[in-house]
Amino acid sequence: MAEMPLIVAVALNPALDRILHVPDLAVGGHVRGRLVSVQPAGKAVNVARLLGHLGVPCILTGLVGEDDRDRFVKSFAKTPVRVEMFEVRAPTRENITLIDPGRGGLETHIRDVGFTVTEEDLERLTKKLSILAVKGAYVIVAGSLPGGVAADTFADILAVCRAKGAFVAVDSSGPGLAALRKARDLWLIKPNRQELAELAGKPAETEADIRAAVKPLLRRIDNVVVTLGAEGAYLFCREGAWRAAPHVEHQEVVKTVGSGDALMAGFVSCHASRKRPPECLRYGVACGTAATFQTRAGDVNPYDVKACLEKAELAAVK
């Protein structure tokens, strides 16, 4: 069996996800709550954690807040994920989720914008990526951009990885999405419908809309995966186009946050195992579906993945 190529997840703006149960949540008053969990998170961190659950070795690199690197290292103990992050002189952002169990688990999400990085921080990370992004490696850059990283700077970081011969996959938004308008030679991007419409400057609602929006992107990007939420995902590449659809009972779904990260982890790990693109899409959708059965983003049960893979439908798009 061929050795699995190196997979690197890059977190530019990771987070600490703090979840509290707050019965009878009311704005403007004093309420009592119970801390449920605090976990390192963010898209790239979730991807790395998911790869670990799937038994796939991975390096998690990027930037993390002052004094928080050890917390991230400990969170990946006993997994095949190695954490090699750089601390910046600012705290890691915290995302807070308030859950009111008395109102059907109603969730309130508070999202922090994160730290601002310096040129020195970016130089250290870029040097690290120039070492890791060897030919044939997979570099997954996922998540929002921190302050101090403009679209052009982000494009330069991607160019460093491409120049070394790595397969570069990107899942970002805002300025990170804007950088993709000019980026060339990327291996994969993973927008949802809304992000695709923003990227292409045209609607992306119907299948015909999506195909028209993706067509010019394929001149400079090898694979475009368009996620559709509960409806699955499309894959467009030079070999063809496919759609994978999950089959799951609604009552099995616990939460949907992080399912796109699971799709990315599944697609990349399957491609790294030398599978064809449509098989990678089907496996990615199975991973994304299985992730909705878990309470925490970044978790997945391999047995659920297997069951979802057996039910997932794959069809060519004409």
Is residue 1 included in any domain, yes or no?
no
Which DSSP state fits 231? G
Is residue 178 included in any domain, yes or no?
yes
DSSP reduced 3-state for 45: helix
Strand partners, 9: 60, 140
Q: What percent of the chain has pLDDT over 70?
A: 98
Record the pTM.
Answer: 0.93
Domain coverage including residue 212: 7-26+35-316
Is residue 2 included in any domain, yes or no?
no
Longest CA pairwise span in the chain (Å): 61
**What mean pLDDT value characterizes the chain?**
93
Is residue 47 included in any domain, yes or no?
yes
**Mind listing the pLDDT tens digit for each residue in 231-253?**
999 999 989 999 999 987 765 77
Is residue 308 included in any domain, yes or no?
yes
Question: How high is the pLDDT of residue 251?
Answer: 57
Question: How high is the pLDDT of residue 250?
Answer: 61
Length of the chain: 318
CA separation for the pair 39, 62 (Å, rounded): 17
Helix residue ranges, H only, 190-296: 193-200, 207-214, 259-272, 277-291
Rounded to an integer, the average pLDDT of 15-42 is: 89
**Mind listing the pLDDT tens digit for each residue in 153-193?**
999 999 999 999 999 999 998 889 989 988 888 999 999 99
Is residue 177 included in any domain, yes or no?
yes
Helix or strand holding residue 159 (H, E): helix 151-163
Question: How high is the pLDDT of residue 29?
Answer: 80
Return the CATH number at 247.
3.40.1190.20
Rounded to an integer, the average pLDDT of 254-265 is: 89
Number of helices and strands (H, E) in the chain? 10, 14
C-alpha separations of 182 from 65, 192, 240 in Å: 30, 19, 23
At residue 176's C-alpha, the angle toward residues 6 and 235, to 5°, is 60
Rounded to an integer, the average pLDDT of 302-315 is: 95
C-alpha separations of 277 from 177, 202, 308 in Å: 23, 26, 18
Which positions are catalytic? 261
The tally of domains found in the chain comes to: 1
Question: How high is the pLDDT of residue 28?
Answer: 84
pLDDT band at 1 (very low <50, low <70, confident <90, very high): very low
Q: Which long-range contacts link 22-31 to residues 24+ away (Cβ below 8 Å)?
A: 22/98, 22/99, 22/100, 23/100, 23/101, 23/102, 24/100, 24/102, 25/98, 25/100, 25/103, 25/106, 25/108
DSSP string across 293-312: TSSSTT---HHHHHHHHHH-
Question: How high is the pLDDT of residue 249?
Answer: 72
**Residue scoring higher pLDDT (3 or 201):** 201
**Mind listing the pLDDT tens digit for each residue in 261-295?**
999 999 999 999 999 999 999 999 999 999 998 87
CA separation for the pair 146, 187 (Å, rounded): 23
Rounded to an integer, the average pLDDT of 115-141 is: 96
